[in-house]
Amino acid sequence: MTARIDARFKLAASENRAALVTFVTAGDPDHATSLEIVRALPGAGADVIELGMPFTDPMADGPAIQAAGLRALKGGETLHRTLDLVRAFREGDDATPIVLMGYYNPIYVYGVDAFLADAKAAGADGLIVVDLPPEEDEELCIPALAAGLAFIRLATPTTDDARLPAVLKNTAGFVYYVSIAGVTGAATPDFNVVSSAVARLKKHTSLPVAVGFGVKTPEHAAAIAAGADGVVVGSALVDAVRSSLDGEGRATAKTVSAVTDLVSALAAGVRRGRAAA
């Protein structure tokens, strides 16, 4: 079920480094450019790709990812097209894990069973659905696991030891630690606090722990990578897309390289982090 994810984290560990997990929004700034970006991510140094499923009410996302979702929706991106993007990516890459990240409403509208079957057939490896707590596991988490998709849960600075067992119970693939309280891209984490939090999580699970929210630069990535199994970067990459667009919000010749250049720098930072620890 989690073969690609497991293999990628094991590869990173064998190279004495954290894995770089990159988030981009499907269909941003348009479907064709988005596919081009996703295809280029592994070569730039991405180990795992989180692919955002655009939604009109993304409550956990900061302004950058909200804007990316709106650009994608304006360009005609749908959940069906997002799965088409995964399928097209898989035609040339059978090794890089893809995790679909988003909210439950579009999946519910699509139909849970149909979505899980189609996502698996397209080549997705896992799901992160931020608005379904463990108490709702029967809604999507348990069916996803049965369909062969990892259900990756988020732990936060407010997830105490009493709450952790419920959070971790059906989690697969890796645990996503949210380094700050708030929305994506809102602040820079306190790296000492994050290191302690990761150490605490590792006492409760054998799964890799990846840290995200607020990681924007290679220096941030290096600091997180010193203690975590993975570093997640999203808002900074989405900002790179935005800053490359023309005055009408359309892709330019610089759009793909704006993302891949930053990913390469982040990958170098991740590799420095463990070496410096």
Count of H-run helices and E-run strands, the chain: 12, 9
* Integer-rounded Cα radius of gyration of the chain: 17
Catalytic residue of the set 61, 77, 125, 229: 61
DSSP state of 18: P
Token pair of 250 as six digits: 């359309």
DSSP reduced 3-state for 227: coil
Token pair of 48 as six digits: 């795992």
Catalytic residue of the set 28, 30, 47, 50: 50
The rounded distance, in Å, linking the Cα atoms of 144 and 253 is: 38
Active site residue 229: no
Q: Name the phi and psi angles at 55, rounded to 5.
A: -145, 150
Which residue has tokens 């899980």? 116
Active site residue 219: no
The rounded distance, in Å, linking the Cα atoms of 61 and 102 is: 10
Which residue has tokens 């250049």? 261
C-beta separation of 213 from 185 below 8 A: yes
Active-site residues, by number, are 50, 61
